[in-house]
Amino acid sequence: MSDAPLAVCLVSGGMDSAVTLAEARARGFQCVALVIDYGQRHRVELTAAERVAKAQGVADLRRVRVDLSAIGGSALTADLEVPKARSPESIGQGVPSTYVPARNTIFLAIALGWAEVLGARHLFLGANQVDYSGYPDCRPEFLRAFEALANKATAAGTEHGQRFHVEAPLLTMSKADIVRRAEQLNVDLGLTHTCYDPLVEGDRVLACGACDACLLRLKGFAEAGRTDPIPYQTRPA
């Protein structure tokens, strides 16, 4: 490994974490990628996550399984209906059914464990508060509270006086900003997967084009004046 400082980057397979990983690399970090298999119904996300991480040449890649379906509570892990064809304006009002309770807390906790093993002090997360304002764990106060916790929770923080940093470089960017930033950083968004309810036919994955995640993604590409490279079942007019 090089002398560059290490960063543990949570990679989900979506656009935000793909660009976050590229941001971490652009800032000079040597990145390792953590993919969390939390029992999500849209399993193709995991394949996308590993594809994205490998395409960016991460120094290490681990998949950790945590079976959040055992505690239920979200349309993404339990047998609840994924909301469809809502207006983009109604997305982000209140906490949606796709919210996974304490998801970012759990993901960052696992990332912190790996960071402590590796001696890494930086955690990168693709959190974004613009499009997902209904998710309490996508807010700056949450990220600062996690940093404070990390410094109390670890031998590095308590015995060696080192400080953990939780970075969410996309926190205040719009989806259009993220599409533009991906282009600047040479991130291939064609490798990413966003849809909550895709049609999978063998190796071919078609996004639904109607769930909240697809609508926000397509709106971002439209506002950036770009065409989304991934295939859809239907694209809204």
Candidate ranges 49-57, 100-108, 125-133, 219-227; the one touching a second copy (CB under 8 A): 100-108
Q: Which of 11, 58, 99, 173 binds a second copy (CB under 8 A)?
A: 99
**Alpha-carbon gap, residue 24 to 193, rounded angstroms:** 20
> In the sheet where 30-37 sits, what is the strand order?
30-37, 6-10, 122-124, 165-167
Give 20 or 154: the residue with its C-beta nearer to a second copy: 154
Q: Is the CB of 118 or the CB of 206 nearer to a second copy?
A: 118
The H or E element containing residue 50 is helix 44-55
Q: CA-CA distance, 218 to 136, in Å (whole number)?
A: 24
Interface with a second copy includes 237 (CB under 8 A)? no
Per CB under 8 A, the list member of 47, 84, 97, 114 interacting with a second copy is 114
CB 167 within 8 A of CB 11: no
Of residues 105 and 233, the one with the C-beta less far from a second copy: 105
The residues in 141-200 that bind a second copy, with binding defined as CB under 8 A, are: 141-142, 145-146, 148-150, 152-155, 157-159
Q: Is residue 66 at the binding interface for a second copy, with CB under 8 A as the rule?
A: yes
42 φ/ψ sector (left φ>0, alpha ψ -120 to 50, else beta)? beta
Alpha-carbon torsion, ordered 180, 186, 191, 193, to 10 deg: -30
CA distance 139 to 144: 9
Size of the site for a second copy (CB under 8 A): 46
Nearer to a second copy, 53 or 195 (CB): 53
Residues that bind a second copy (CB under 8 A): 34, 62-68, 70-73, 95, 99-106, 108-110, 112-114, 116-117, 136-137, 139, 141-142, 145-146, 148-150, 152-155, 157-159
